């Protein structure tokens, strides 16, 4: 992984220890963290250095989450995980690296991990104010994106579903197969 920001410890870490990289393409990297919390813990990050998720384009964010989904699928298959936690580290609140990344953490019953937190009791007016603002913002976003669905598009989707596996689905399966194969060799 070519470090795009010399001061970023995450970029520098992967530059120094390329053997931790499990999968990489033009846009994303999947790697084993230096200090995993459980066997199979993976980090998924963009090759471009982003401190905040919100800085990514929609296409980059979509690709990052699709890749994360593939990694989670590979972990399920390889380790027989019963679930996963996918955690977004966003901003500089968590540590000094300021490199947005997703952690895929496979879960099993009695694995010793606890991601529960004690909820704060907020005054009702505070939550109501935030909820109303979000509701308004989401309505604006949804109305801007809505387009009436045409019957032709609906029929094309049905025809597409009846066809054999598409090339994009084959690519997805090949990525999952690749991850499973290479994770087997690298997990403790």
Q: Using one digit for the tens of pLDDT, what is the confidence trace for 79-122? A: 989 999 999 888 766 555 677 889 999 999 998 998 888 887 87
Q: Using one digit for the tens of pLDDT, what is the confidence trace for 124-172? A: 888 888 888 888 877 776 666 555 555 555 555 555 555 555 555 555 5
On the CB side of 91, CA atoms within 13 Å amount to 3
pTM (2 d.p.): 0.68
- Pair 44, 71: CB distance under 8 Å: yes
C-alpha distances in Å from residue 73, one per residue of 30, 41, 85, 148, 183: 13, 13, 12, 34, 12
Domain extent listing, the chain: 9-121+167-186
Q: CATH homologous superfamily of domain 9-121+167-186?
A: HIT-like (3.30.428.10)
Q: Which two tokens stand for residue 182?
A: 């290479």
Question: Is the per-residue pLDDT at 30 higher than 60?
Answer: yes
Residue 174 confidence (pLDDT) = 67
Question: In the 8-state DSSP scheme, what is residue 55?
Answer: G
Partner residues linked to 105 by β-bridges:
85
- Reduced to 3 states, what is the DSSP secondary structure of residue 84? strand
CA dist 21 and 42 (Å) reads: 10
Mean pLDDT of all residues in 174-188:
63
Residue 71 confidence (pLDDT) = 92
């Amino acid at each position: 992984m070519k470090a795009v920001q010399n001061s970023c410890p995450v970029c520098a870490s992967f530059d120094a220890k390329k053997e931790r990289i499990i999968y990489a393409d033009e846009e994303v990297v999947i790697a084993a963290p230096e200090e995993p919390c459980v066997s199979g813990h993976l980090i998924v990050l963009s090759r471009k250095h982003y401190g905040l998720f919100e800085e990514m384009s929609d296409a980059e964010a979509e690709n990052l989450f699709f890749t994360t989904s593939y990694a989670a699928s590979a972990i399920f298959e390889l380790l027989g995980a019963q679930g996963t936690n996918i955690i977004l580290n966003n901003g500089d609140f968590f540590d000094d690296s300021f490199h947005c990344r997703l952690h895929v953490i496979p879960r099993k019953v009695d694995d010793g991990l606890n991601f529960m937190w004690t909820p704060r009791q907020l005054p009702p007016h505070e939550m109501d104010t935030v909820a109303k603002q979000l509701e308004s913002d989401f309505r604006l976003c949804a109305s801007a994106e809505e387009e009436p669905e045409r019957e032709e598009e609906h029929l094309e989707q049905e025809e597409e579903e009846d066809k054999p596996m598409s090339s994009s689905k084959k690519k997805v399966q090949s990525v999952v197969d690749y991850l499973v194969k290479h994770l087997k060799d690298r997990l403790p």
